[in-house]
Amino acid sequence: MEYIAERITIDEKICNGKPTVRGKRISVQTILEFLAAGESKEDILKQYPSLEAEDIDACIKFASDLMSRNFIIKTVA
């Protein structure tokens, strides 16, 4: 397991290598989808009692850090 950001880990044996929260089977994507659907931090923490509020903040920061990179779209034949 490798920490790629504070509280965010990648392990090829967990969730098919997707970024997860502290090695748990809770992906960053799942947390972001809950937030995008309008769920509050409190609602998410009730659904996932092993999470901490700082874990949710780390997911948001991780996504923000990804968006700070440059992307190039190329046409594929």
Q: pTM for the complete prediction?
A: 0.85
Q: CB within 8 A of 47, min separation 6: which ones?
A: 34
- 12-31: pLDDT as tens digits: 999 999 999 999 999 999 99
Q: Tell me which H or E stretch contains 2.
A: strand 2-5
Q: Which fold has domain 2-67?
A: Arc Repressor Mutant, subunit A (1.10.10)
If you average pLDDT over each of 2-6, 41-45, 70-74, which comes out highest?
Answer: 41-45
Domain ranges of the chain: 2-67
Q: CB within 8 A of 9, min separation 6: which ones?
A: 1, 2, 3, 19, 20, 21, 22, 23
Confidence of residue 34 (pLDDT cuts 50, 70, 90): very high
